[in-house]
Amino acid sequence: MEPIRGTDPTLRQLLRRIARRRRLLLAVAVATFVVVAAWTLLATPRYESTAVLRIESKSAIPSLSDAVKELPGMGLAGLAKDELDTDIGVLKSSRIADATIDAMGLAVQVKQPAEDRARVIRVRVLDSSDVEGKITLSRRDDGRYDVQTDDLEGVGKLPAVWAPGDSLRVGSLMLALPENLRAGGPSTIKLRLLPRYKVHKLLDRRLTIRKQEGGSRLVEVSFADPDRRFAAQVVGVMVREYVTYMLQTDEHDETAQIRELRAALGTTAVRLATAEEQLRRFQQRARVVLPTEQAEEQVKRIAAVESRIDAIRIERNGLARLLELIRSRSASGGDPAAYRQLATFPSLVGNRAIQDVLAALTDLESKRSALAVTRTEANVELQQITSRIADLDRQLYRLGSQYLESLDQQLTSTTRTVGTLNDTLVALPATSLQYARLARDRTILDSEYVALYKQLKITELQDVLRKEKVKVVDPPRVANADDPEFPKRTVQLVLGLVLGIVLAFAVGLGVELWTEAD
C-alpha cells in the first residue's frame, strides 16, 4: 500500500523502496568493491623492517635526579622526566636522518622496479646540494640503457646511453649501474630524484620511532619501503649511525669533563698550597697555633700571675711591718729578743738559714745562762758570748731584710710579666681574626680540592667502566615477501566490501529522496 502523497514514509517503507532498486545498488556496490580490489591488488606493496633498541641511562652511577624520580609522586610532579625522551629526540634528529639519507642514497627513489633497488642502481652522495627530476632508462639490445630525463635542471647534459658498470654524476649524486645488468635486467628503470626536504618528508611518513609501553627503555625503529631488503638496510644504517653518534658523544663529553676537572684540580692545588703556606708563615710570625685556646690559656696565666702578685704583696707588706717593729724595739733596747720574732714569720719558718741562726742563738743563750750563774757581767767569756748573740740577732735581721728585698724583686718582675701578658692578650683578637680568615680560606680550598678530586675519580671510573648506552636487542630483519606492511589485502578487500554496501545504500537513499522531492 503506497503512502498518501505529502506524508512522510516510514523507515520500513523507505527500505522497501530502496530495495526495489537492487540493480542500481548491486552495480554501485560491485563497482566500489572492484575499484578497491583493483587498487589493493595493483598498489605497490611496502614492507616494514623493525629494530628494537635498549637505551640505558647515561650514568652508571645513580644521580640525584634518579634518586628523586624514585620517590612516590615525583613523576606526577614532572620531576622524573625520563632522559629516554631526549634520546628518542636525538634518534629523530636531522643529524641522524641526514647521515642515513647520505649513506643509503635516499635522495634517489626507484619507482620501477621498486622491489629490488640494489639490483638496478647504486647511489653515492657527493655534497648536500639538491637535485630534483626524473630519469627513465630503457634497455637496448646490447645491454646498455637509453637515458631520458624529465624536469631535471641544473645538472648539465647527461649522456644519451648508459652502460652497466659505468658511473654518472647527476648534480650532487653519483649514480652507477651494477655490472650484473649486462647479463640481463629490467627493460625499464624509472628513477625519481628528490631534494633533501622532500626526502625528509618521505622519511617522516615511512619511518616510525616509538618507545614500548609499560615504562620500558625499549625503542622500536621501523621503516617501510617497496624493497624489503632496502627497508632493513635503512633501519640498520640509522641504528648504526645513532649508536656511533652516542658513543662518540659520551666519549667526548667524558674526556672533556676529565680534562676540565684535571685543570681545575691543578689550579685548586696551587691555590691550596699558597693558602697553607700563608697560614704557616702567619703562625710562625705570630707564634700561634690555635689562637682561641691560646687566648684562654693566656687569661688563665694572667689570673694565676696576678694571684701570685697579690700573695707576694701581702707577704711583703707583712714582712716590712714586722721588720719596722723589730727595728723600733731593738732601737729602744726594751726587747733584746726582738730580732727573734722574725723566726715566727710564716715564710721564714722553713728557711734553713734562719733555723741555723736560731739554733746557734739557742745554744749561746744556754751557755750564757750557765756562765751568768758563776760569772759576772765583766767576765770576758760572758761578754764574748753576749757579743756573739748580738751579732746573730743582727744577722737574723739582715736575713729578714734580704728576704724583703727578694720579695720586692719578685713583685717587680711578676708585675712586669703581667704587663707583657696583657699586651699579648690585647693583640690576640686581631691575631685570631687574621688566623680565622687564613684558616677559612685554607678550609674552603681544601673542601673544593676534595670535591674536585672525588668527581675526577668518579668520572675516570665511569670512563673506564663505560658501557654501551645503546644495545640492539633485535636487529632489523628482511620482511617476508608474503607479509607486506601495506596493503593488507584481506583487510582492504573486507573494507572494500563494506564500503561498497554502505555507498550503495547511500546512493539508493539519495535517489529515493530525490524522487520523493520531485
Half-sphere exposure of 458 (CA within 13 A, CB side): 11
Higher-scoring residue by pLDDT: 483, 430: 483
Asked whether residue 518 carries a pLDDT value surpassing 70, the answer given is: no
What mean pLDDT comes out for the span 448-462? Answer: 88
* Mean pLDDT of the 109-113 span: 92
* Average confidence (pLDDT) over 158-162: 92
User: pLDDT of 236-265, one tens digit each?
Assistant: 999 999 998 888 887 777 788 888 999 999
Run of H or E residues at 391:
helix 380-464
Q: CA–CA distance from 459 to each of 209, 267, 462 (Å)?
A: 32, 18, 5
Rounded Cα distance between 241 and 236, Å, is 9
**Which of 23-32, 331-340, 353-362 is the least confident region?**
331-340
- For residue range 365-395, list pLDDT tens digits in order: 777 777 777 777 777 777 787 777 777 777 7
Asked if 100 and 106 touch (Cβ cutoff 8 Å), the reply is yes
15-45 confidence digits (pLDDT tens): 777 777 788 888 888 999 899 888 888 888 8
More confidently predicted of 63 and 244: 244
User: How would you classify residue 297: left for phi > 0, otherwise alpha for psi between -120 and 50, otherwise beta?
Assistant: alpha
Q: What own/partner pairs with CB < 8 Å and gap ≥ 24 does 295-303 have?
A: 295/425, 295/428, 295/432, 298/421, 298/424, 298/425, 298/428, 299/425, 301/421, 302/418, 302/421, 302/422, 302/425
How far apart CA 393 and CA 448 sit, in angstroms, is 79
pTM of structure: 0.60
So what's the pLDDT on residue 382? Answer: 75
pLDDT number for residue 465 = 67
Q: Give SS3 for 163.
A: coil
According to DSSP, the β-strands at 108-112 and 122-125 are unpaired
